[in-house]
Structure formats: structure tokens, C-alpha cells
Amino acid sequence: MIHPIRSRSLRRWLGASALLVLSAGVPAVAETVFTPTANGFQGTVSAAAPERGGPIVAGGQAVIRGQGLIPGQQITLMRGSHVLNDAPLTADAEGKFSFDLKIDAEAARGLHPIVVIAENPAAASVIDLKVSPDLPLSGAENFIIESAKVAPGLYQVAFGEAAGAIFVTAASGRPPVKDSALYRLDPQSLQIIARGAAGEAPALADGREGGVFAVYGLGLDEANGTIWTTNTRQNTVAIYRQNDLSLVKQFEPGLVDHGRDVVIDQARGRAYISTSVEPKIEVFTTGPNQKIDTITIQSLQRGAKFAVMSLALDAKAGRLYTVSMSTAEYATVNLEDHSVKVFPLPGAKGASGVAFDPEEGLLFVASQQSDNLLIVKAEDGTVLQDAPVGAGALNVTFEPKSRQAFVANRGAGTITVVDTSGEVKAVLDAGSFPNHLQADGQGNVWAVNKSRGAEDEAGDRLWRITPKAQ
């Protein structure tokens, strides 16, 4: 339960108001409760931790902020029957307010509905205040962990077996992004071997500067010695050579809506690219390098849109798996005919990461809003385990040698290690904002994180995590 600094029940609050009315005698003209309204809630209200990007946890603090409200509007915040603020908050001349809230130590984890009641004029809205699981660091002694600074804005990482190298993408700055590059690193020293700068992008339709074709997602085509990258800002993709990071092909803007992940199916010579804001996976050939199909995924929920996020490949069975950020669902794509089957995913909210274990046929799903890892029977959608892993569970990879899933928790700043039975085996410090990770099939997990600024020594790092032999 979330309590205010001095908790009061709605019954007590309303009862006191009633007593005041009665004590005033019988008025000649009663005041109406139906005061002038705003005809809809104007502005936005949100709840967050005091530290940017950090989690709200039991026993911690939260800050509820409003902006774009009507100046002078009075705000009351409620959780269930409890009023959270001792006196109404008043929107300032800019329509803003801020309220510090103590979260008690017994607060249940999850999304708590906070009712925002406005007066002068009247309006109301409901926001979510997420209390995340707070898992202490543990188990680091069972791993060999090394990391090194690379560059600002690291996004994704991949291990190239043929090249014997690590590849990472980086993009930093506000749009139009001007600083972006693809890096090749030595897997032993973690030092940069080569850097390939992103090419200049065309001007925007309104004439503004277009920046560069910033690189975000990446997938390795080992057969052709290339790297496929997503240019999310320009809604397209590009191909680079693994050996020297030179550009092979830059596709035209508008070909892939908000491209996120790339998976290469070597056996079929296909590149599959997720779109993240659309219910689509774009399909390219890796021979002539051209777009050949669009796979559309229909949500089972009426009126809802399946928002494709991460991709996981079962090359042997010819299946591609993905999860939806906007609906609690995952989808299986048959790679022979591109037919799709969608399954409900109870317990997931804001699903974004997915990994697959071919040995047991398990899917591992990381969800940012529910802060958990679901272990699912891939063939029929049976949820086998639901493990709380940490705030902002963003991405997941499965390491087959140790048979453990590694989850990057962006908000918590940790990587949680979970076995196939759902037991948390370790919670590792991963610096600031861990963003992406990938197992290399040789017993290592590679991860990258972002930073809180130029002076953040815990950010912009490449990590190598190797489970010790047990």
C-alpha cells in the first residue's frame, strides 16, 4: 500500500466536509458540487523516482509532477480511498506542480492507479505509479566480469564468430543526430579496433538538416561477412562490411517504420527487421539485398495493435518469435510461408525482450512495465514461471552453456540471471541504464549500457560476463 506523509481515508475526509456543512446551519442557497469544469483534463501528470531513469521502490521516494495544467488549478491526489497530499496542490503560473511522496516499506510492487482530481476548473485523470521489485546485488562471485568504456550512446551488441570480434552500435544527441558510428572491438582486450561513421542523411521534408543515418539495431550476416543495421530516425536500414566497417548499401528512407532489431536467417538468406511501433516485420534477402515481404501481425485483442519489439530465431525449426509492447501477446512466425500465430501473454506489460531456448522449447520474455521475466512454453503459450527481476526489464538473452537467462534491467541498473526453473541465481551491477545483451554461444554474455552524462564512469560501457564452471 502507498501511504501519504500523513495518510487520511476518503471517508474521514468526506465526513469532515459533511460536518462543516452541517455546522453552518441551513443555508438559504446551497453551493453545488457541480462546479465549472475544464471539459477534459488539460496537461499531463506523471510519477517517477527522484533520480532520472531510476526506479520507485518500497521504502523509497516518488515525485509526482504536473505540467500544462491551468494556472491556479487545485490538485488532489488519491490512491484508493486515501488522499496523498495534506492540502490541495496549486498549479503555478506555468501550469506546473511537483509533489514528493514517501513510499512505505510495505508497498506492493506493481502499477498503482493514482487519481488526479482537479478543481478550479474541475477535471480528473488516472496515472500509474509503478513500484518496482528491489533485488539486492548478489552472486557476482560466480561470474568473471570485465567492462570497458567505448563511446556515448551505445545501443546494441553482437558477437561475430567468423570475424572473432564484437560489434556495437552507438548514437548520441537529439535529432537530427549527428554523432553515430559502428564499432568493431577485440573480444579479449575490449579495445576498439575500428570505427565506421554513419553517413550523412538527406535533409528533412521541411528543409531542416537531416543529420546522419544513425545506427541502432544490428544483426550479423556471417555468410556474407556483413552487418545489417537499423537507421531508426530515417525509417530504413543499412549494410556494412564486418572487416573494415565500410558501407555496402544504404537503403532509402521510409522503407522500415522505426526499425529496431535485426535477425539474420542464414539458412534461408533472409534478414528480418522489427518495426517497434507497427505490427510488422520487414523481410529482406541477404543475397541481392532487397526487401521482399512484409509480415503483418494481428492482435487477438479487439481494436488493439500488436507493436513488434525484439526478435528471437529458432533456425532449426524455421520459427521466428516476437513480443508486443502494446498488448500482452507474443507471436510465432513460420519462416517457410510467413504465416503467423498469436498467443496471449498473461503477466506481461510492456513486453520488449525475447529469447529462445531450443533445447526445452522455452521463450523468455522481459517486460518493462511489469518488471518481470516470463518463462513460456513456446509451442502453446503456457506460462511456466513469472520471476520479478528488477525495474525496467528491457532485453533478455539465453546463454545455452550455463542454461541461464540474462535480463538487462534499465531502470535498476542491473543484469539479473535466472535459470530455466525461474530461480534468480544472481543480480549483477551493470552500471547506468543497461540497454542490450547477447550470448555468443561460447559461454559469454556481452552487454552494453548507456550513461547519465559525459562524466558518468559507469556508463557507455561494453561488458563481458562469463559464468564460472560449477
The residue among 293, 180, 271, 291 whose CA lies nearest residue 227 is 271
pLDDT at 2: 57
Q: Are strands 44-48 and 74-79 parallel, antiparallel or unpaired?
A: unpaired
* pTM for the model: 0.92
| Per-residue CA distances from 165 to 53, 148, 157, 191, 266 (Å) | 31, 15, 11, 10, 19
**Domain ranges, ordered by start, for the chain:** 8-131, 140-467
Question: Which residues touch 367 (CB under 8 Å, ≥6 apart)?
Answer: 348, 349, 350, 351, 352, 353, 373, 374, 393
Fold entry, domain 8-131:
Immunoglobulin-like (2.60.40)
User: Which class for 39: exposed (0-12), middle (13-18), buried (19 or more C-beta within 10 A)?
Assistant: exposed
pLDDT at 21: 37
pLDDT at 9: 46
- CB 310 within 8 Å of CB 274: yes
| Per-residue CA distances from 375 to 294, 365, 461 (Å) | 28, 7, 28
HEC sequence for the chain: CCCCCCCEEHHHHHHHHHHHHHHCCCCCCCCCCCCCECCCCCCEEEEECCCCCCCCECCCEEEEEEECCCCCCEEEEEECCEECCCCCEECCCCCCEEEEEECCCCCCCEEEEEEEEEECCEEEEEEEEEEECCCCCECHHHEEEEEEECCCCEEEEEEECCCCEEEEEEEECCCCCCEEEEEEECCCCCCEEEEEECCECCCCCCCCCCCECCCCCEEEECCCCEEEEEEHHHCEEEEEECCCCCEEEECCCCCCCCCCCEEEECCCCEEEEECCCCCEEEEEECCCCCEEEEEECCCCCCCCCCCEEEEEEECCCCEEEEEECCCCEEEEEECCCCCEEEEECCCCCCEEEEEEECCCCEEEEEECCCCEEEEEECCCCCEEEEEECCCCEEEEEEECCCCEEEEEECCCCEEEEEECCCCEEEEEECCCCEEEEEECCCCCEEEEECCCCCCCCCCCEEEEEEECCC
- CB 271 within 8 Å of CB 259: no
How many CA atoms does the CB half-sphere of 132 hold within 13 Å?
29
State the amino acid at position 175 in one-letter form.
P
**Distance from chain centroid for Cα 130:** 14
Per-residue pLDDT of the chain (470 residues; tens, 9 = 90+): 455 444 444 444 444 444 333 344 444 445 899 999 999 999 999 999 999 999 999 999 999 999 999 999 999 999 999 999 999 999 999 999 999 999 999 999 999 999 999 999 999 999 999 999 999 999 999 999 999 999 999 999 999 999 999 999 999 999 999 999 999 999 999 999 999 999 999 998 888 999 999 999 999 999 999 999 999 999 999 999 999 999 999 999 999 999 999 999 999 999 999 998 899 999 999 989 999 999 999 999 999 999 999 999 999 999 999 999 999 999 999 999 999 999 999 999 999 999 999 999 999 999 999 999 999 999 999 999 999 999 999 999 999 999 999 999 999 999 999 999 999 999 999 999 999 999 999 999 999 999 999 899 999 999 999 999 87
CATH superfamily of 140-467: YVTN repeat-like/Quinoprotein amine dehydrogenase (2.130.10.10)
